[in-house]
Amino acid sequence: MNVNTTKNLMAKALMTLGAVLTLTACAVEPALMVNTESKQAVQNYTTFSWVKDDPMFINGDFQPSQEISATLMESIKAELETKGYRFTEERTNADLVVLFSVGANEKIEFKKHPNYFSENARWMSNFQDGDVGEVTEVKVLLAGIAIDIFDREKREAVWYGSAKRKLNTQDEAVNALDSDDLSKSVQVLLTEFPKAS
């Protein structure tokens, strides 16, 4: 093999690697939107349990698999235990009870496209005049998990959190409701939950 052939092969390999890296960089996971709200202080709580034997509620147009409940129960339990709370099977003795809902819902959003790219338009005048031009309707999916934690004895909400991703296709919604993705969402979400004292 001569020097020119080797150089050509190396150049092709580098171009292929560059293309692969470019495609990988484009495959960015949709951002996780997290919302949490503390209803009251939690420093006096030490134990938790589930609100019922299967604490998962399904909310939305797409159904997760039945195995997801057990996986998410383990994820939530592990995260709360790292915060210093102790799990008990005896829910009647628990300070806190936990439930969670999983699902994906279709939603319509409206996107505005300014006219400032037309040939005769001046960018600044159209922008300042609020010339929105075309409005298109886009169907999106919001998929994720919500966790509710209650004071068992008072039957009052203590904490609420939700984590969801905005998706573009129904296929993505099915994938977003898989146990690995939802378990990652649980980890991110419960970082916001206060530690036990």
Instruction: Report the percent of the chain where pLDDT is more than 90.
Output: 34
- Collapsing DSSP to helix, strand or coil, 99 comes out as strand
CB-CB contact of 95 with 49 (8 Å): no
pLDDT value, residue 197 = 79
In the chain, the largest separation of any two C-alpha atoms, in whole Å, equals 82
Task: Tell me the average pLDDT across 144-164.
Answer: 92
| Confidence check: pLDDT of 117 > 60 | no
| Confidence check: pLDDT of 189 > 60 | yes
- Collapsing DSSP to helix, strand or coil, 66 comes out as coil
| Confidence check: pLDDT of 121 > 60 | no
| Confidence check: pLDDT of 192 > 80 | yes
| Confidence check: pLDDT of 123 > 60 | no
Is the pTM value of this prediction over 0.85?
no
| Confidence check: pLDDT of 51 > 90 | yes
